Structures are given as structure tokens and as C-alpha cells.
Amino acid sequence: MDAKINFDSNSAYRQKKIFDLQDWTQEDERDKDAAKADLNYIGLDGNIGCLVNGAGLAMATMDIIKLHGGTPANFLDVGGGATVHQVTEAFKLITSDKKVQAILVNIFGGIMRCDVIAQGIVMAVKDLEIKIPIVVRLQGTRVDDAKALITDSGLKILACDDLDEAAKMVNSLC
């Protein structure tokens, strides 16, 4: 007899003993790394990496990439309270997929501060020596500070205010 049980990962904080039993040898290494960084990650077959805050916005981002002829390489939701470290870890996950030819960052900063995301992007590009194109669409809290951080970094990070245009831009870079 064989059995398999699935547990709702949303209960992990109150069911630590159960989740400590997870056999990570059965999981993709990126899934393990994402869980350690408290990121929601699902690998896909495409070539455009996505870093987004919020599951709904992530789905919309993937849809608009497909609408303009591209294929998303992942679903990656950093959530509403991401840190600079989590953004850097997100870029590690995305760039560990050798199929990724460009990255689209799409952030709507309601709770999430855009300047924190920008700091993480700049740090990741420098620390990981990322050479593939990155298109960044930021809207919301501290967006002007975020844009200044990206501009002042001197890095080749392409900014775009409109999601539709950002999707077209990232598709053209692949």
C-alpha cells in the first residue's frame, strides 16, 4: 500500500512538526530555496522570468506576457512585505533557470514599498552579476524614490510605467 498526503502550506506556521517531516529530496531545488526565503515560486517552461508582488498581479503579468507572444518562465510572488534580501533571493531563483533570457519585474506598491524592491533589484544585479535584460514596472508607494535608485545605479535596468508596454518590451528582448 502507498499513500500520499498533501498539507496546506498556509498552515505551516502552526503545524511546524508536520512540515519538518517534508522530504525535500522529492522537490525541485528551487522550490526548497523559495520556501527558505518565504517566496511563492512555481517553475514554468518559458524564457521570461517574472518577479511580482501578489498572486493576482502575477497571473495578470503572465497573461499579458503571453498576449504579446512571450512565455513566462515562472510564477514568483514576493508578497506584500518583501525585504531587500527576499528580492535578491528571488533573482537568484529566476536566474538559476538557464532558459531565462529576460526578466520582468511588476510591482504595485500599496503595502509594498517600491524603493525596497528597487534596492533589492540593484543589489541583485550587482551581486549576482546579472547580464540578461531586466524590465521594471513599478507603481505605488515611494515609486519616485525607487526610480531614482534605479537611474542612479547606472545599471542597464529598463524602466517602464505601463504594464502593456513593459510586456512588449520584455518580449522584444528575448
User: Across the chain, what does the average pLDDT equal?
Assistant: 92
pLDDT tens sequence across 131-172? 999 999 999 999 999 999 999 999 999 999 999 999 999 999
pLDDT tens sequence across 9-39? 778 788 888 888 877 777 788 888 888 898 9
pLDDT the model gives residue 63: 98
State what percent of residues in the chain have pLDDT above 90: 72
Nearest alpha-carbon partner for 79 in 145, 28, 144, 10: 10
132 φψ region: left (φ > 0), alpha (ψ -120 to 50), beta (else)? beta
pLDDT the model gives residue 10: 79
Cα(31)–Cα(43) distance, rounded to whole angstroms?
A: 8
**pLDDT over 90 (residue 64):** yes
pLDDT tens sequence across 92-141? 999 999 999 999 999 998 888 999 999 999 999 999 999 999 999 999 99
CATH code, 29-172: 3.40.50.261
The three three-digit cell numbers of residue 153, written as one number = 545605479
User: 10 Å Cβ neighbour count for 81?
Assistant: 12
pLDDT tens sequence across 109-123? 888 899 999 999 999
**Domain locations along the chain:** 29-172
pTM: 0.88
DSSP letters of 84-131? HHHHHHHHHHHHTSTT--EEEEEEEESSS-HHHHHHHHHHHHHHTT--
